[in-house]
A = this chain, B = another copy of it.
Amino acid sequence: MVGNAALEGRATLESVAREAQVSRQTVSNALHRPQVLSPDTLARVQQAIDRLGYRPNRNAQSLRTGESRLIGLRVDPVRTPSGGVLDRFLHALAEGSRAHGYQLLVFAPQAPDDDLSGYRDLLTTMTVDAFVLTQTHHDDPRLAFLAERGTPTVSFGRPWGAEDDHHWVDVDGAAGTAQAVDHLVAQGHRTIGFLGWPSGSDVGDDRRRGWQQALARHGLQPGASLTAREDLAEARAAAGELLTGPTPPTAVVCASDVLAIGVLHALRRLGRRPGTDVAVTGFDDSPAAALLDPALTSVHQPLEQVAAEVVRVLGTLLPARPVPAPTPPSGVLVEPSLVVRASSVPDAP
């Protein structure tokens, strides 16, 4: 490994301009507003930058503008079941931030039991322009902590119970399970059960509500409903109970893919054919859903859309993009979509 070019830094804006035979302003445009340059000019400047090994002093720039162009995102050991949803969101957010000239600073909590772990440290040791939160919950202390400090913050997930006080973007979980009910009713099902998480989880209760409300809309009585934690063995046991109860459902809507997979396993153990004898729907469209046999019908969360909305809202909050008036807290609810597979329609792919 040779010497660190970053520390040598002999090339300057001037020498790059000379090398590329353009003005200083053009080099500056290439770095900060590439879209205003012709592709040819941009390529010429880029090549000069490469040849000279030029690295603009970002820290000096930050001092001047008061901006770091960094968005902080904490990645937590997954507390609520997510089926890879948060990882997909991270990718989409990295993409969305980049398109707006922001970079993503990803950090892990130091003390998993401390809600503020990581945020506090980052605010005292680094400069971050804004935070994106995930896995928000009732009375989430992070929201108050960051609001008090005036740090622009948008959460993916509702600040349950304080929806009017913060900026957030979320997927409409109740609409997702309602779509599953609509689909099953269209397939001729009339006794539609539910397997959800123990009540008290905001996300889980919302998904149960969607199932209930959709049944009422169709003039149907709710079928049997049981709960299990996000654990395959627990889900399998609860599903066995649900399927052999006094009024066995012909279809089961589930609050997650893991719960739905538990229903598929229970059906097989009972000698009944998933998809053919009893229809099953999951939630999250996790990678496993498409790999099962039969493949699992599941509610898909449009995370690219969520990330784009998060970045759009951040754009209205960040000093770099002043808006005429301060933006009042706003919630954006994004519609999910059902991916139909063989667990609910036997001849689906």
Interface residue ranges, A against B (CB under 8 Å): 1-7, 31-32, 46, 49-50, 53-60, 62-63, 66, 68-70, 73, 75, 77, 83-84, 87, 90-91, 94-95, 98, 103-108, 110, 118, 120, 122-127, 129, 147, 149-152, 167, 232, 258, 261, 264-265, 268, 286-288, 290-293, 317, 319, 326-327, 329
Give the shortest distance, in Å, between A77 (CB) and chain B (any CB).
8
Q: Are A70 and B105 in contact (CB under 8 A)?
A: yes
Question: Which of A287, A291, A293 has most chain B Cβ within 10 Å?
Answer: A291
Question: Which of A49, A98, A167, A265 has most chain B Cβ within 10 Å?
Answer: A98
Q: Are B124 and A55 in contact (CB under 8 A)?
A: yes
Contact partner of A293 among B62, B120, B264, CB < 8 A?
B264
Q: CB-CB < 8 A to A70: which residues of B?
A: 105
Q: Are B103 and A31 in contact (CB under 8 A)?
A: no
Give the shortest distance, in Å, between A52 (CB) and chain B (any CB).
11
Q: Are B290 and A66 in contact (CB under 8 A)?
A: no
Q: CB-CB < 8 A to A55: which residues of B?
A: 123-124, 127
Q: Are B75 and A6 in contact (CB under 8 A)?
A: no
**Bound CA–CA A88/B66 (angstroms):** 34
Given contacts A31-B124, A287-B287, A291-B261, contact A91 B108 (CB under 8 A): yes
Q: Are A98 and B124 in contact (CB under 8 A)?
A: no
Q: Are B124 and A54 in contact (CB under 8 A)?
A: yes
